[in-house]
A and B are shown apart, each in its own frame.
Chain A
């Protein structure tokens, strides 16, 4: 900003807060949760530890839900069966982010994609990171329909979390 511009009001700095020149209340909301994962998500997370992606199938419409749900959102009935889907798929869309959650610049740009997994119904899949993908390939749209495969953490390092898959990378 142009330092010669005279703004109305009383100027203050963050230092003035520290020195107690400006009255304020500080309060930190404390809220902690232990979410019940439930039947569907618990099995999904457990299977990630085994290096597998599990889904639920609805026998009425044939949809294969991944991540799994105990109900079919479209038929409104309980889903019927656990099925495994592959850890390979194709990229539906992708994004390249150059900033982190705090808007700070990332050292390496982050590529994240919506991936339709093989064996799941159309439109079902996983939101995950892409690795070994040149950001230029997102910009020039080569990424569309790119075939990718999950790169897993070592079995002993998995903890039953979505991050047990490190990222998806292109299948050569």
Chain B
């Protein structure tokens, strides 16, 4: 259906807890400069359109799309902003190329989380003002509710959840763009401060700042460049009802459906067998397991087995979040999905250095738009 779409360039700043010295525009410029250099294009001549993923409330500026073209080489070009995660941005860019009207499209997302003085109050504004704000104090309570249900139905031990944190933060030690790499242990994670029981402080990814840019192109254009193209083989995105009461809290339907949409486009019948690498949502420790369940990537293993038997370690049958995930790279708000995609592309190209998990032919990238939004996006990449 339509023409094939490739990723021909990627660029990113490092992700760090604070970036007080740079404006978001300067971060975006750095990422864009690197991505266009990687793609080997001059954006002023060759860029056909720009998509950014941004949320006004994170920026503190409404109608944020007005501020995006300058630092992206997109002045006086078609540009649009998706109010969502960067992976939704990729899907919109992919669709633009599919139309046949755009050959080269850049997708950008960034985080300036450290500029937000009271981020929990901003999360609170996302809660339903009539039903939820008077009842629920903070969004981590939603995570606690989901975590409780998931642990119950999938029989997950506290130790296995802590081990996810240990694994991802250790993986991040090998990722030069990740700020939260460390060697920690199960006991430390399991005894960290309770936030919303059963959720503890170290189960929650810390925030990070940075910017990432991805350049998409049609097959005709991609094949003209030296760089090995990475193909977008399938995309899926789904939104559930906003009522938490209706959700499948153990295995989110929106992830299951987004995955089946992406898998069917990519002709994937047996995901665990066919996929070599998964960069999936781990905003909270339990989410890594939950994402794997919903993406049909457990191959019948119990949750505890997945992590304790090394199935999802960088050298395992299915490496999951070898980048360190959100737990290791930080949760960069709407840049989250794009950072995961960036790391998957690096692996597919075989350019991940000490992070490289071996030969990667196919990868899946998945993220959610976070509570209270019951929505997710899935992208299947291949060489």
Interface residues of A (CB under 8 A from B): 25, 27, 29-41, 69-71, 73-76, 78
Contact = CB atoms under 8 A, between A and B. Distances in A.
B23 A33 contact: no
Contacts of B26: 38-40, 70-71
A33 B22 contact: no
B99 interface: no
Contacts of B158: none
Contact of B21 (A33, A38, A71): A38
A30 B29 contact: no
23 contacts: A30-B122, A30-B125, A31-B118, A31-B122, A32-B116, A32-B118, A33-B60, A35-B112, A36-B19, A36-B20, A36-B23, A36-B112, A38-B26, A40-B23, A40-B26, A41-B23, A69-B70, A71-B70, A73-B69, A73-B73, A74-B44, A76-B33, A76-B73
B14 interface: no
A36 B115 contact: yes
Contacts of B332: none
Given A31-B60, A71-B70, 6 more contacts: A33-B115, A36-B112, A38-B21, A40-B23, A40-B26, A75-B44
Interface string B51-75: 0000001001000000001110101
Contact of B25 (A29, A31, A38): A38
Given A36-B19, A39-B21, A76-B73, A31 B125 contact: yes
B23 A31 contact: no
Contacts of A39: 21-23, 26
Contacts of B22: 36, 38-39
B224 interface: no
B60 A25 contact: no
Contacts of A70: 26, 29
A32 B58 CA distance: 10
Contacts of B116: 31-33
B36 interface: yes
B153 interface: no
B43 interface: yes
Contacts of B73: 73, 76
B42 interface: yes
Contact of A38 (B23, B33, B70, B125): B23
Interface of B: 19-26, 29, 32-33, 36, 42-44, 57, 60, 69-71, 73, 75, 112, 114-118, 121-122, 124-125, 129-130, 133-134
B130 A25 contact: yes
Contacts of A31: 57, 60, 116, 118, 121-122, 125
A114 B33 CA distance: 31
A27 B129 contact: yes
Contacts of B70: 69, 71, 73
Nearest to A36: B20
B370 to A, nearest CB: 17
A25 B118 contact: no
Contacts of B21: 36, 38-39
Contact of B71 (A36, A71, A74): A71
A23 to B, nearest CB: 10
A76 B20 contact: no
B254 to A, nearest CB: 26
A33 B43 CA distance: 32
A29 B125 CA distance: 6
Contacts of A35: 23, 60, 112, 115
A116 B116 CA distance: 34
Given A31-B60, A36-B112, A76 B36 contact: yes
